[in-house]
Amino acid sequence: MKTNIGFTSFKYIMLITISVVMLMPFVWMLSTSLKDPTQIFVFPPEFLPWPINVSNYVEVLVDSFFLRQLFNSIYIGAAVTVGTLLLGSMAGYAFARIPFRGSSLIFLLFLSVMMIPAEVTIIPLFLLMRDLGFIDTHVPLIILPIFGAGGAFAIFVMRQFFKQIPKELEEAARMDGCSRWRIFWTIMLPLSKPALATVTIFTFLQNWDEFLQPLIFIKSRELMTIPVGLSLFTDEAGTAWHLLMSASVLATLPVLIVFFFAQQQFIESLAMSGSKE
């Protein structure tokens, strides 16, 4: 069994190395966020700043647009997710169960949407939103993701899932006099929790990360989302790294907290979406 012990230690060395590299940015971010500006660039690097200084956090929270931008990100993400769930599940159900003319052709069109880079449509969409007067509002940031690749992905996942549910279930309900609408809400949706979870996780993460659209559509600082807000932080404050790191910690915490509580769900749902080709 000697080779096995050797192999196991090799495994651990590899895993520990990569974990250290992965976690280092978080450690350094947290550490810097607790430092006084004078402590930032000292040699050798200090992991545990002393004295611990929380004034950076106070400054970020009180003095900047930070809280407003964090709120924008959260509420836009929630609105997009709810919209995508509603439209995606209804359209997915229609494609799975309601035969209509051109159904498969339209479904193919939706699938092709997933392949088309968002960058191709961003310029006409910018002009469209400008002419509609929606520049520097949250309207494009909420509407566009729902009808983009994310929406198409939701339709795809929901359709695949609904197809697996036995038809007999619906037929029995129809015998009892259920309308299609009621079948959808009271039978199909409650059964499709795993698919809904996948769509929720993907949509929210995707939206939390979206950078190009908010960069283009939003001009005023108080309307920006967190990624754009943080990226501009660098420009104008030069290198106020201690403040930027506190803001980054605060921007990362909500997602990390959700992730730690829903970890199993996260990983399962990502794995599911991948193997379901």
Q: Which of residues 38-57 bind other proteins (CB under 8 A)?
A: 40-45
- Which of 110, 153, 156, 161 binds other proteins (CB under 8 A)? It is 110
In the complex, what is the shortest distance from the CB of residue 44 to other proteins, in angstroms, rounded to a whole number?
6
The string of DSSP codes covering 218-249 is: --SGGG--HHHHHHHHHHHTSS-HHHHHHHHH
Rounded CA separation 245/252 (Å) = 10
- E-only strand ranges, 14-70: none
Cβ proximity to other proteins: between 178 and 258 the closer is: 258
The string of DSSP codes covering 60-127 is: HHHHSSHHHHHHHHHHHHHHHHHHHHHHHHHHHHHHHH---TTHHHHHHHHHHHHHS-HHHHHHHHHH
- Which of 8, 164, 179, 186 binds other proteins (CB under 8 A)? It is 8
Cβ proximity to other proteins: between 34 and 226 the closer is: 226
Cβ proximity to other proteins: between 15 and 169 the closer is: 15
- Expressed in angstroms, the distance from the first to the final Cα of the chain is 40
In the complex, what is the shortest distance from the CB of residue 125 to other proteins, in angstroms, rounded to a whole number?
5
In the complex, what is the shortest distance from the CB of residue 171 to other proteins, in angstroms, rounded to a whole number?
26
- Angle, CA 69 vertex, CA 63 and CA 75 arms, to 5°: 140
CB 90 within 8 A of CB 151: no
* Number of residues near other proteins (by CB under 8 A): 85
**Segment 60-89, which members bind other proteins (CB under 8 A)?**
87
Cβ proximity to other proteins: between 58 and 256 the closer is: 256
Rounded CA separation 31/55 (Å) = 13
The piece of 54-62, 164-172, 177-185, 244-252 that touches other proteins (CB under 8 A) is: 244-252
Cβ proximity to other proteins: between 187 and 254 the closer is: 254
Rounded CA separation 45/154 (Å) = 46
The piece of 48-56, 58-66, 74-82, 255-263 that touches other proteins (CB under 8 A) is: 255-263
Alpha-helical segments (H) within 165-192: 167-175, 180-182, 189-191
**Segment 174-233, which members bind other proteins (CB under 8 A)?**
205, 208-209, 211-212, 215-216, 226-228, 230-231
- Asked if 234 touches other proteins (CB under 8 A), the answer is yes
- Asked if 17 touches other proteins (CB under 8 A), the answer is no
In the complex, what is the shortest distance from the CB of residue 52 to other proteins, in angstroms, rounded to a whole number?
19
- Asked if 106 touches other proteins (CB under 8 A), the answer is yes
The piece of 140-148, 158-166, 170-178, 183-191 that touches other proteins (CB under 8 A) is: 140-148
Q: Which residue has the tokens 């959700």?
A: 258
